[in-house]
Structure formats: C-alpha cells, structure tokens
Amino acid sequence: MLDVIGRLTNLVALNLYSNYLVGSIPSSVSNLTNLASLFLQINQLDGSIPEDIGRLMNLVALNLSSNCLVCLISSSVTNLANLASLFLQCNLLNGSIPQEIGRLRNLVAINHSSNSLVDPILSSLSNLTNLASLVLQCNQLNGSITQEIGRLMNLVVFDLSSNSLDGPIPSSAFRHIPSSLSQLTTSVDLYDNKDLRGSIQGFVPCPSMKHNLVVIILVSTLLFLISFFVLVIFILCRQYRAKALKHDPSPTKNGDLFCIWNFDGKIAFEDIIRATEYFDIKYCIGTGGYGSVYRAVLPSGKVVALKKLHRLDAEQPAYDTSFQIETKVNIVKGVAHALSYMHHDFTPPIVHQDISSNNIFLNSEFVAFIADFGTARLLDPYSSNRTIIVGTYGYIAP
C-alpha cells in the first residue's frame, strides 16, 4: 500500500496512524517531496528508517513511534531542515543519536523514549535552542549530563529517567528553574539512573504516577497544538505562493507547439484555425480514408502538416440509440446463416476474407445481409492457382 502512495507527489499530509500496517517503510515515500507531516505511529512496521527520507525537505512533523523499527537512527533524518517534531519512541532502535541532529535548528520536540539507544547525551543537542521538549527516558544512555544542556532556555519537558547516567547533575544546566515551586514551569525527570549525584534548588521528583499522567497529557496536547499551528502556517504559505504564481502567468502565447512544458491546447487550436482559415480547401494538400491533410504556417514560423479526421457516421444523432439485445442476437444469427450458406451450400464454396461490420447490411427490419462479394474468392478444391495479394493480408481485390 505504501509503495503506491509514493506516486502521490502533491501530497502535503499523510496520516495512517493506529492501523495494522506491516512490512518496512518503502523508499518510495521519499518521492513525496511536498509532504509536511508524516504520521505512521501505532502500526507494525519493521525494518529501518529509509535513507532517502532526507529528501523530504518540506517535512515539519515526523512521527514513527510505537512500531518495530530496528537498527540505527538514519543520519539522513538530520537533512530535514524544517522539521519541528521528531517522535521515534517505542521502537527497537539501537546505537547512538546522530551527532548531526544539532543541525535541525527548528526542532521543538524530540521523543526517542523506550528504545535501546546508548552512548552519552550529545553536546550538539544544545544547538537546538528552540527545543521545548526532550524525552529520552527508558534507554541505555550512559555517561554524565552535559553542561551545554543549560543553553536550552525554552525547554518545558526534560526527561532522562530510566537510563544509566551517572556523575554530578550540573547545576548550570538547570539555572533557569526558579527556586519557588509556584513559578516552576519545567518538568524535569531524572529518576531511576545509575548514580546521579547532586541537588538542584527547587527541584523535586514527581511523587505519583497520577501527576506524571497529567504532565504527559498536558505536554502531548501542547506538542500537538504546536505541530498543528506549524502545519497550518506552512499550508497557508504554500497557498499564498501558488496564488502569486497564478497571477503571474508565463508568456505561452505563440509558444512552441511541440514543447510539453508551455503547451496550451486552447492557444494551439486558435493558432491552427487562423493558419488554415478554418481549414479552407486551399490549404488542403491531400485526402485519405480517415481525414484530410492541411499545410499550415504557425505564428512561430514553423511549417506543419495537420490532419483533420473525417466525422464518422456513427457520430451522427441517428446512430445514438443502441440495438436491443434481441436485435443483436438476430443480426449475429443472420450473419452466421449467410456464412454457412457461402461455405457449405454454394458450389464452388466462397470465402469472404473481409468480413466486418462495414460489409454487413441491415434492412428496415434489421435483417442482416453479407455484401461486398467483389472481395470474395471462389475456392476450387481441385485447383492450386494463387494470386498476388493486394492491400491488407486476407483481402483479395475485385
């Protein structure tokens, strides 16, 4: 299914979360270069994140959480310069977070929790100064918390719980947390680590799971609203650009008739009509069985040959009404009887060799007659004479 979606190159938002999708994410998804949001969470997707996903330069929100993705986090994700939210939690990802993630300066939310990520926390995360939520809980991160985390002044949620972190907690990393709990606007969770030491003024762990649940709901709602508004702004900007381009038409008048990029069927038809003066007979250079050929000089100076097809009799209003099924059956019976007579009841036998609807006549009562006997060939069973075939194979000229 996802392979077929790769053909929808104008798609802006793709939301297939909470289904039973299986298999790997196809690389054809990278063909959706206009995509702004990709939500595939809560499925059964496996394999790795496609390397070509870095081609989605307009992507703002990416959510692949709650699947069975394995291997490393693809470094191509760090090419998504417009990305605002990156949710990869609840997968089987291993290895370390790419060092290049610091290039995603527009990131507002990161959630890589419940994976098997290792190595220390990257100092390059401090480059993400717009980051409001950083959730890396339930991994295998080790080492100490880097001092540079203190540069994330917009951080609202900071969760490194259930890892293997050790060493002192740098007070400079949390200097923006006020001493008064009534002013506390940042949720910091560092519990269940290996050997974190130190105290932070005004910081206390959340005492109950109920409080954690409330925080998670509030943060999830906040992140959803942020992603939604970013997506709306992005779509409005695209519509504004489309309207601007629409009011600035490119000059296709008298353009190249044979160029598909600036071809305008209406303008081309008008040029042809003017060049042939409504297909005047003086421009006719030949007539065939299906139409007439005209010579025309286009406004661009090119001389072309144009073929105007004859109007078919079947296009006349008199032929608009189709036969009843009973009439069609009687016509087929009449043709069958006529062929049987020609082949078996007439001496010498006759093979028509050009039987078609053009050689079957109907009378006023729709009785079928086979005509055009000049195209027929008399078969003499005792003769081996042959003639030269003229025209279409199987057709003998009279």
Do 47 and 177 lie in one domain? The reply is yes
Do 94 and 81 lie in one domain? The reply is yes
Q: What secondary structure, in 3-state letters, does the chain show?
A: CHHHHCCCCCCCEEECCCCCCEEECCHHHHHCCCCCEEECCCCEEECCCCHHHHHCCCCCEEECCCCCCCCCCCHHHHHCCCCCEEECCCCCCEECCCHHHHHCCCCCEEECCCCEECCCCCHHHHHCCCCCEEECCCCCCEECCCHHHHHCCCCCEEECCCCEEEEECCHHHHCCCCCCHHHCCCEEECCCCCEEECCCCCCCCCCCHHHHHHHHHHHHHHHHHHHHHHHHHHHHHHHHHHHHHHCCCCCCCCCCCCCCCCCCHHHHHHHHHHHHCCCCHHHEEEECCCEEEEEEECCCCCEEEEEEECCCHHHCHHHCCCCCHHHHHHHHHHHHHHHHHHHHHCCCCEECCCCCHHHEEECCCCCEEECCHHHCEECCCCCCCCCCCCCCCCCCCC
Do 51 and 162 lie in one domain? The reply is yes
Domain span at residue 374? 317-378
Do 138 and 175 lie in one domain? The reply is yes
User: Is the pTM higher than 0.75?
Assistant: no
pLDDT per residue of the chain (398 residues) written in tens, 0 to 9: 667 888 888 999 999 999 989 999 988 899 999 999 999 999 999 999 998 899 999 999 999 999 999 988 888 899 999 999 999 999 999 999 998 999 999 999 999 999 999 988 888 888 999 999 999 999 999 988 888 888 888 888 889 889 988 888 776 666 555 443 334 456 788 888 877 776 554 444 444 455 667 788 888 889 999 999 999 998 998 888 887 776 655 444 455 555 655 555 666 788 888 888 888 889 999 888 778 899 988 888 888 888 888 766 555 555 555 678 888 889 999 999 988 888 888 888 888 777 877 788 888 888 888 876 544 444 455 555 455 544 434 434 44
**Residue after which a domain boundary falls, among 312, 337, 357:** 312
> Does residue 253 have a known ligand-binding role?
no
Would residue 264 count as lying in a domain?
no
Do 101 and 12 lie in one domain? The reply is yes
**Residue after which a domain boundary falls, among 197, 224, 245:** 197
User: Active site residue: 46, 119, 166, 354, which one?
Assistant: 354
Would residue 1 count as lying in a domain?
yes
Q: Is 3 among the catalytic positions?
A: no
Do 329 and 305 lie in one domain? The reply is no
Do 46 and 108 lie in one domain? The reply is yes
Do 171 and 299 lie in one domain? The reply is no
- The total domain count for the chain is 3
CATH code for the domain in which residue 373 is found: 1.10.510.10
CATH code for the domain in which residue 23 is found: 3.80.10.10
